[in-house]
């Protein structure tokens, strides 16, 4: 899948967050979106995911060389961010099973294997409301990385993770994201050191 941005711009009230952003995200590559706080990193990721609108320019999604409507993008993209909620009333097994029915896991995976690969097997039948912040972040990352979609979007993926969680993150990226389009919004090189290209939002003020 390929995503093409042309003269893209976003503003809040009269203040432009970014403008004239031209960029093409290609299938199978890994990208980082960087920049200071308020530069539009997370906003751009939300626009790419289809969860936020833009004010000028255009964004076109391509699959197998053919463009398709932006309204269908949610079926092709998974998205993890610290500000996105999970259903805390569900147990982990219930939550992942619900997700499996909605979007599906990568080939060869099922809910139990996803729980194991996330190192959360000890909490499989616990309500997510009782998870630590680091455990909740693992849930969000697992939901995004293991989803059977061609595009994975991650916003500040190491938020609340301890050293073990950081190591797990890098393992999952290397193992399960190599042949997909991966876009990471971050200012921490530990989160995106493996990326092929960097989009610096300071260039689009």
**Over the chain, what is the mean pLDDT?**
95
Q: Kindly calculate the radius of gyration of the chain based on its CA atoms and give it in whole angstroms.
A: 17
∠ CA 148-154-157 to the nearest 5 degrees?
Answer: 120
Of 166, 139, 5, 23, the C-alpha closest to 82 is 139
Q: What is the pLDDT of residues 104-163, one digit of tens each?
A: 999 999 999 999 999 999 999 999 999 999 999 999 999 999 999 999 999 999 999 999
- Please check the confidence at residue 43 and state whether its pLDDT lies above 90: yes
- Please check the confidence at residue 70 and state whether its pLDDT lies above 80: no
Domain segments of the chain: what residues?
Answer: 2-204
pTM equals 0.95
Tokens of 149: 């979609």
Query: What's the rounded mean pLDDT across residues 34-56?
Result: 95
Q: How many residues does the chain have?
A: 205
Question: What is the C-alpha separation between 17 and 19, in angstroms, rounded?
Answer: 7
Fold (topology level) of 2-204: Rossmann fold (3.40.50)
- Please check the confidence at residue 34 and state whether its pLDDT lies above 90: yes
């Amino acid at each position: 899948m390929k995503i093409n941005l042309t003269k893209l711009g976003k503003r809040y009230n009269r203040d432009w967050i970014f403008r004239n952003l031209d960029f093409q995200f290609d299938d199978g590559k890994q990208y980082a979106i960087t920049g200071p706080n308020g530069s539009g990193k997370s906003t751009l990721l939300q626009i790419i995911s289809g969860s936020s609108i833009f004010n000028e320019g255009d964004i076109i999604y391509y699959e197998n060389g053919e463009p398709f409507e932006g309204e269908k993008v949610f079926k092709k993209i998974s998205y993890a961010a610290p500000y996105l909620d999970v259903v805390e009333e569900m147990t982990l097994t219930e939550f992942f099973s619900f997700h499996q029915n909605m979007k599906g896991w990568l080939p060869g995976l099922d809910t139990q294997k996803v729980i194991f690969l996330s190192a959360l097997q000890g909490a499989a039948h616990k309500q997510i409301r009782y998870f630590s912040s680091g455990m909740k972040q693992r849930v969000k990352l697992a939901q995004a990385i293991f989803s059977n979609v061609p595009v994975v979007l991650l916003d500040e993926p190491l938020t609340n993770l301890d050293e073990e969680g950081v190591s797990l993150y890098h393992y999952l990226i290397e193992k399960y994201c190599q042949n997909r389009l991966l876009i990471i919004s971050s200012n921490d090189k530990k989160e995106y050191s493996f990326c092929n290209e960097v989009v610096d939002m300071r260039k689009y003020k």
